[in-house]
Amino acid sequence: MVFIQANETSTGVYNPINEIVPVLKDSGALVCVDATSSMAGIKIEVDKLGIDVCLASVQKAFTIPPGLAVCSISSAAIEKVPQVKNRGFYFDFLELVKSNEKHQTPSTPPIPQIRALVAQLDYILNHEGLENRFQRHERLGKRTRMWARDVNFEMFPEKGYESNTVSTMKNSLNIDITKMISTLLAKGYRIVNGYGDLKNKTFRIGHMGEITVKELEEMLKVLTDIVSGLKMNQ
């Protein structure tokens, strides 16, 4: 089994899984894709690519409170399970399948999140429309990258690998990122600093879920004014 991320949240990188997965499948390996911050925001053709396990949690692009993981599991992955010794219980696919046949789960399920997921899936599929949702996220990603270019922030990912659900920018203006974030938060908008060694060297703007282009525009206008003020005070 080869594990790969589709969307890397901390760096804003979207891996070219459409190119990578076929190579992995040709090797005979099973493929597990972590789509935590891209599922329901960026199109992933699970069946076409032959992805064996595609998993996510619901607090990102699904816009549901945390506490529930969702995944698809191929028949090839299920057939492999009996060959795995000491595989544990909690994530045992056979236990999941056995319980699912009785319309149950192996352990206590988070009922409120499941009901929220049912409602949200109905909205995504029958109201907004899945392709429309993907296109909206694409517009959100493009608009954020345009903003970064206009204010002279460099994107952290290499060109062509930028995510459409979360954008990570380099602190190429060398401003006080911590102050920028706290000032923006005081005005009602939350973005976040870089992780670990990237703290104050990068920052991230999440634009996924139910965020509209209009809402993003409003936030970016406020952020532009903050950045301008910080540059003047350098």
Q: What is the tens place of the pLDDT at every residue in 9-25?
A: 999 999 999 999 999 99
**CB half-sphere exposure, 212, CA atoms < 13 A:** 4
CA angle, corner 198, sides to 192 and 62, nearest 5?
40
In 58-148, where do the E strands start and end? 69-73
Lowest-pLDDT choice from 90-94, 196-200, 223-227: 90-94
| Residue 200 tokens, joined | 């104050």
Residue 224 predicted with pLDDT over 80: yes
Helix pair 213-232, 177-186: axis angle to 10 deg = 130
Query: 140: which 2 tokens?
Result: 């959100």
42-66 mean pLDDT:
96
Residue 113: its H or E element: helix 111-123
Q: Is the pLDDT confidence value at 159 over 80?
A: yes
Q: Residue 84: pLDDT above 80?
A: yes
- Kindly indicate the confidence band of residue 87, based on its pLDDT and cuts at 50, 70 and 90: confident
Section 91-118 average pLDDT: 94
**pLDDT at residue 29, rounded to an integer:** 96
Ordered domains of the chain (ranges, CATH): 2-128 (3.40.640.10), 130-232 (3.90.1150.10)
Q: What angle is formed at CA 190 by the lines to CA 188 and CA 192, rounded to 5 degrees? A: 155
